[in-house]
Structure 1
Amino acid sequence: MITIQKKGNLVIVAIIGEFTLADYHEFEQQVLYKSHFDGKANLLFDWRDMLDYTVDVAWEEIKFMRDHGSEFNRVAVVTNDEWQTWGTWVFNLFVSANVAVFHNYEEAEEWVSENE
């Protein structure tokens, strides 16, 4: 399940349980809408409650970031999982944004919201 909130130029995406392709498409629509109308967006991914994701989600993420990676200022990922941390650094190869991984949600939100 996915939840998406918008606070100014910040898009907060939380995943609970399995991250499915339908969830990813909802994310794409929301973020593309946000960046298209309001300029560059900042993203905050909360993956603390994500249990798993499907292979097609990983492939879509690579394609999305390749096509839209220059449309973001900052991307913060909140996770305690080593594989998700590693995946974030791979994700970083496809974007020109500042990308950081956090274990603490409040620290991530503060960092990603700086200079707004």
Structure 2
Amino acid sequence: MVQFIDTGKENLIAARLSGKLDEANLKTIHQRVHQIIDKGQKMDFYFEMEDFEGYTLKGFWEDIKIDAAHINDYGKIAFVGNKKWQEWAAKITDFFTGSEAKYFEMKNKEQAMAWATT
């Protein structure tokens, strides 16, 4: 499930992620991506992952397609979670993209939001 968080920052996609993300969830995020890039802006992300289990196969494929199409439009990506694999996902994202990805523990979510919005 994707629950968007209103931050007031025009180029930030902030969301709480839980359960397994499917194709429909990713298409909802993709719509927000286009709302930002259609204005000529790079987008930043804040993903709070509580009870997040990953993706369905179709959700994972949709995420790959979005990333491949828009990877040069990404700025900062804050991953907030409480599992080691989430920290590794942030490191892999940082390594393979031109964006700056950083992992924060759930207890530091305010710091993560501040980092993503500056």
**TM-score normalised over the length of structure 1:** 0.84
Q: How many angstroms apart in 1 are the aligned matches of 2:65 and 2:24? A: 15
- State which of 90, 95, 98 in structure 1 corresponds to 2:92: 90
Please tell me the root mean square deviation across aligned C-alpha atoms, in Å.
1.8
Contact 2:22-2:60 at 8 Å conserved across structures: no
Q: How many residues align?
A: 114
Contact 1:74-1:97 at 8 Å conserved across structures: yes
Residue range with higher mean Cα deviation, 42-51 or 3-12: 3-12
- CA 1:93–1:57: 2 relative to 1, 3 Å: farther
Matched, 1:17 2:19: yes
Give the secondary-structure state (helix, strand or coil) at the position aligned to 2:5. strand
1:1-116 to 2 correspondences below 5 Å: 1-6=1-6, 7-8=8-9, 9-37=11-39, 39-103=41-105, 104-114=108-118
Contact 2:12-2:45 at 8 Å conserved across structures: yes
Contact 1:62-1:91 at 8 Å conserved across structures: no
How far did 1:68 drift? Answer: 0.5
Which amino acid letter does the alignment assign opposite residue 3 of structure 2?
T
Contact 1:65-1:95 at 8 Å conserved across structures: no
Seq. identity, %: 25
Residue range with higher mean Cα deviation, 91-100 or 41-50: 91-100
In structure 2, runs of 5+ residues without a counterpart are: none
- CA 1:57–1:94: 2 relative to 1, 3 Å: farther
